[in-house]
Structure 1
Amino acid sequence: MPDTARLPLVSASPGTDRALTVHRYGRRGARPKVHIQAALHADELPGILVIDHLLRLLDAAEAAGRIAGEIVVVPVANPIGLDQVLNGHLLGRFDLAAGVNFNRLHCDLADAVVQAVDGRLGDDPAANVAAVRAALRAAYDAAAPAPVGQAEHLKRLLFGLAHDADLVLDLHCDWEAVMHLYTATASWPDVADIARQLGAEAVLTAGQSGDVPFDEALSWPWMAVAARWGDRFPVPQGCHSLTVELRGQSDVDDSLAAADAANLLAVLIRRGAVAGDPGPLPAARCDASPLEAVDMVKAPAAGVLVYAHAVGARVDRGAVLGHVVNPLADDAAGRRVPFTAGTAGIVYGRLAQRLVRPGDVICKVAGSTILAHRTGKLLTA
């Protein structure tokens, strides 16, 4: 059985207590280290079910002596959000106390790490990886704040668990979607095997997408060090951090979860964290797209949303993706307003609710050509 710990969160109010449950497999300090967590957006539940299946596979692997690295599993990464139920609806994406997205504004230590490694890098890539990890830990310890709220404490705990990992898999899902991934530009194509194993139909890459989501808090310091010092010293991408979008919010299904867990185990085997045969690598379903090449299609009017294509459909630029219907409009054109694709590519995600307001992001199309208007913050709220 794994080494299981409960890490208490600072109490938000008298009489309330929450904690992170963390399972550790293998020996602490062993390499590779893999961190896997689910439901940082607490209303995205498929990952919790996937981890339930994965834990059984890891228990069996540990019983057989096959754990070769260190594997940290956080089945529920956001017990705060999981408790935010209002009138029967789970509201787990934003901290209701502060209005902040639980997957934004994580520890941003890149500048401190870049400065700390000055004079500590050399010609040995492995030694440089160790130097960056030491600087990251020191910066994390030095940044320990004065008393913070529960959501900030949660973010610090998660970062502390994952900061020295070789591989991080943050399990999320979209509204309605196909399997897709987000990862650092510097991690592609090194993580192409993971995309293939998981059956990803879109992979979106960025250096900084804006507002420091969890995966970028872990990957960006390495990219920042390489940008500053990489012309003089070899600086590998010491942490490959991926956000794994397990299709849509309603895809909570044992057969899907069992298959996803088996694929995650194959990833762990192929990456050397678990001994065994991962089997043949599936064929790639996509290449990577820069996040700047994603068309975030917005509702052109208020009304009821009707789609013309299923998720996973490939569309041409200008294709009608659906209509916003308002029978109260003054004329026929206003009663059914089309919305179109701004790029050719795959419809990898779309809004689940069908009543929309003008400007709502309702559909996402991953293309291959960077769109001029896609600057600044590249993710949805």
Structure 2
Amino acid sequence: MMTPPPVLSARRTELPLPAVAPGTRRALTVLRFGTPGARPKAYLQAGLHADELPGMLTLRHLAARLAEAEDRGEIAGEIIVVPVANPIGLDQRINGFLMGRYDQTTAGNYNRDYPDLAALIGDSLAGRLGTDAAANVATIRAAMAEALAGPEPLSEVDALRHRLVSLAFDADIVLDLHADNEAELHVYTGTPLWPDALDLASELDARAVLLAEISGGNPFDEACSGPWWALAKRHPEAVVPPACLAATIELRSNDAVDDRLADDDARAIYRFLERRGVLSTGGSGVLPRLRCEATPLDAMQQLKATSAGVVSYRRHLGEFVYLGEIVADVIDPLGDSVPVAATTDGILFARHSQTWAWPGKVIGKIAGAVPLPERRGRLLTD
């Protein structure tokens, strides 16, 4: 096993969360590198869904590399790293299993319902924005800071969301590391951020890139990047650039926890930060070729079972499937076998590792190119 050097305690701060009971308190651990207020600012977190583990190891390796880079004076901007973004979910264990996707108190998804900063500050910006893009960015970020400076939410989960957004809202780059149930590495990002985010997807060797302006539910990455294009539409007289490149990175499968793979992913993110000037060490090497096409999120088929039974996949992850092709069979041990077909051409980039299905269960995802009529409203799997 690879063991990176320890991160110095001087770079570590603890942000307490509200106590849920006497004698009980959790905290968010934050690692800071570079100079506060310097640009570009990058914010990276992992484990927002606390049972998605590969990203936590990746940021452990990345933090070690950043500590070494800082000692060499190679950090040009500011970098904030939160390797464990959800200490609440990490404490949710049922029958010997960690269950960290949903809050057990509210049943809410930890990666939904973040503050809508565009709605909070939109009215206050009337008459304050003009044709100077840099000045507008500074004005908008100041308004966001003011909106977030109010009283902290009372509940532990809402306070966690508030703290995470408060750390990230003014970043130039926001990377939220997740892992799918069983998947190839893929990236979700905003349509206005493509092809600008090509270097990120290429360095990570993504096998699918899913694009949407609004995916529904206000997940963390869109809470950081979405306000910029929302405000651009709300104030068409002004020049409002997409000043935050935010992306959700799905680091393959929940169970694909491998320390060497995590180190490879950390190296890829490090190279991306070099390319973006957050690190002063260049990043002028040849960009790897992206081995997929970016496709609309509303063109992604959620392959759903129509019956209960054991899932037997006919196609493997990463394979191209065609409209009408049978991707899996749902087999009733006491009855019939029901085929599940692709309704689009595209890459099968995700499957479900628990091969028991029921009607409506998503057992696969296909990155197609043509928007599908049923893909409306909330586009992400809850």
Q: Secondary structure at the match of 2:178?
A: strand
1:327 counterpart residue number: 333
Q: Distance in 2 between matches of 1:362 and 1:240?
A: 30
1:67 paired with 2:75, answer: yes
2:207 counterpart residue number: 201
1:238 counterpart residue number: 243
User: Offset at 1:327?
Assistant: 2.1
TM-score by length of 1: 0.96
User: Offset at 1:115?
Assistant: 1.6
1:270 counterpart residue number: 275
1:10 counterpart residue number: 18
1:370 paired with 2:368, answer: no
Compute the RMSD of aligned alpha carbons: 1.1
1:79 paired with 2:81, answer: no
Q: Secondary structure at the match of 2:149?
A: helix
Q: Distance in 2 between matches of 1:294 and 1:175?
A: 16
Q: Secondary structure at the match of 1:100?
A: coil
User: Offset at 1:16?
Assistant: 1.3
1:339 counterpart residue number: 340
Task: Summarize the alignment of residues 248-263 of structure 1 with structure 2, pairs less than 5 Å apart.
Answer: 248-263=253-268
1:296 paired with 2:297, answer: no
Q: Percent identity?
A: 49
Q: Distance in 1 between matches of 2:330 and 2:37?
A: 54
Q: Distance in 1 between matches of 2:378 and 2:81?
A: 30
1:351-380 CA distance string (max 9 Å, x none): 111111111011100111011111011111
Matched-pair contact (CA < 8 Å) for 1:296–1:365? yes
Matched-pair contact (CA < 8 Å) for 2:320–2:346? yes
Q: Kindly report structure 1 stretches of 4+ aligned residues shifted beyond 4 Å.
A: none
Q: Distance in 2 between matches of 1:80 and 1:160?
A: 18
Q: Secondary structure at the match of 1:212?
A: coil
Q: Distance in 1 between matches of 2:91 and 2:122?
A: 38
Q: Distance in 2 between matches of 1:112 and 1:82?
A: 31
1:211-269 CA distance string (max 9 Å, x none): 11101111111111111223x22211011110000000111101211110000100110
1:152-194 CA distance string (max 9 Å, x none): 1100000000010000000001000001000111111111111
2:352 counterpart residue number: 351
1:155 counterpart residue number: 161
Corresponding residue pairs, total: 373
| One-letter code aligned to 1:149 | S
Task: Summarize the alignment of residues 84-99 of structure 1 with structure 2, pairs less than 5 Å apart.
Answer: 84-99=92-107
Matched-pair contact (CA < 8 Å) for 1:114–1:224? no
Q: Secondary structure at the match of 1:101?
A: coil
Q: Distance in 2 between matches of 1:211 and 1:264?
A: 27
1:88-115 CA distance string (max 9 Å, x none): 1110000001100000111112122222
Q: Distance in 2 between matches of 1:304 and 1:14?
A: 46
1:282 counterpart residue number: 288
Q: Secondary structure at the match of 2:239?
A: coil
* Structure 2 gap ranges (5+): 1-7
| One-letter code aligned to 1:212 | N
User: Offset at 1:117?
Assistant: 1.6
| One-letter code aligned to 1:350 | R
2:313 counterpart residue number: 307
TM-score by length of 2: 0.96
Matched-pair contact (CA < 8 Å) for 2:310–2:333? no
User: Offset at 1:310?
Assistant: 1.4
Q: Distance in 2 between matches of 1:307 and 1:110?
A: 43
